[in-house]
Each structure stands twice: as structure tokens, then as C-alpha cells.
Amino acid sequence: MGCWLHSGPASGGGRDQAQREIAGRIGDLAGNEHRHIAALSRVSQRSSATEDFAGALDLLLAGIRTRIG
């Protein structure tokens, strides 16, 4: 049985390429007006969709842990 992170709808080489292209478009739209989003889009272009999901999940869980003490 594989890891659940690698079996989702955002996994796979073709989807990774699509994710990078979408991240690039988001960064272009964000531009200088939304610099933090543009910076995140550049980071997202260097990782896979699975890595992005895992990183976002880690951030979410860290935020929850902070709130519940």
C-alpha cells in the first residue's frame, strides 16, 4: 500500500507540470501588488504538487497546534 500523499488527484508527473504552469500564472497575476503571493508561486514552481500539499498540511497543523496551545 502506497503513501496516501502520493495517491491523490494532484499527484503524477503530468499534474506536477500543470501545477507549475498554474503557479506561474498565479505569480504573474499577483505581480508587485501581491508580492507574498508572487513569492509563494515561485516556490511552488520548484516543487511537486505532492510536496506543496504536504507543506500546506504542515502549515495548517502548525497553526492548529499554536491555537490549541
Q: Mind listing the pLDDT tens digit for each residue in 15-28?
A: 888 888 999 999 99
**Residue 5: predicted pLDDT:** 45
Does this model's pTM top 0.85? My answer is no
**Residue 1: predicted pLDDT:** 40
**Residue 8: predicted pLDDT:** 52
**Residue 34: predicted pLDDT:** 95
Q: How many C-alpha atoms does 36 have within 13 Å on its Cβ side?
A: 0
Distance CA 8, CA 64 (A): 23
- Mean pLDDT for 39-48 is 89
